Each structure stands twice: as structure tokens, then as C-alpha cells.
Amino acid sequence: MNMSDNKYNIGIIGAGVIADFHAQALQAMDNTELVAAYARNQQKADLFAQKYGCAAYSDLEQFIQHSD
């Protein structure tokens, strides 16, 4: 198995404009999946998560403990 065969689960901290660019780039890659997003504001985290199909967190400890 080489590095390109690995699947990487990614979590993003932040739900602003730059996070959108990162999420779009991750979606374009074959070996990555956006699994979680953290924002201080739960509503922003929820909107971001709905847009990109990932889990939403406004509690950093819960985000870090995400099992994927």
C-alpha cells in the first residue's frame, strides 16, 4: 500500500471564508474526507457542516474527541 491508497479524515477549525476554500479543496481530493468542523458559534458550525456534510462542534474538546 502506498501513500495515495490511504484515506485521511480531516477536521477544520473555523467556519469562515478561508475554511470554505479549504473544504472545497478537500472535497476535490480523492484521498480525503471532511469529517468535522469546529466554530465558536454553534449556528455557524451547523451551517458549515450542512454545506459540507460533516459533524459540527462548538465545543473544542468534543471536536478533538471526534472518533473519525
pLDDT at residue 36, as a whole number:
98
Amino acid symbol at 68 = D
pTM for this predicted structure: 0.87
- What distance in Å separates the CA atoms of residue 32 and residue 29, rounded to the nearest whole number? 6
pLDDT at residue 67, as a whole number:
83
Residue 48, C-alpha cell as written in the block: 458549515
Tally of CB atoms within 10 A around 23: 20
Tally of CB atoms within 10 A around 47: 15
Tally of CB atoms within 10 A around 49: 20
pLDDT at residue 5, as a whole number:
79
pLDDT tens track for 14-64 = 999 999 999 999 999 999 999 999 999 999 999 999 999 999 999 999 999
Structural domains for the chain = 8-61 (3.40.50.720)
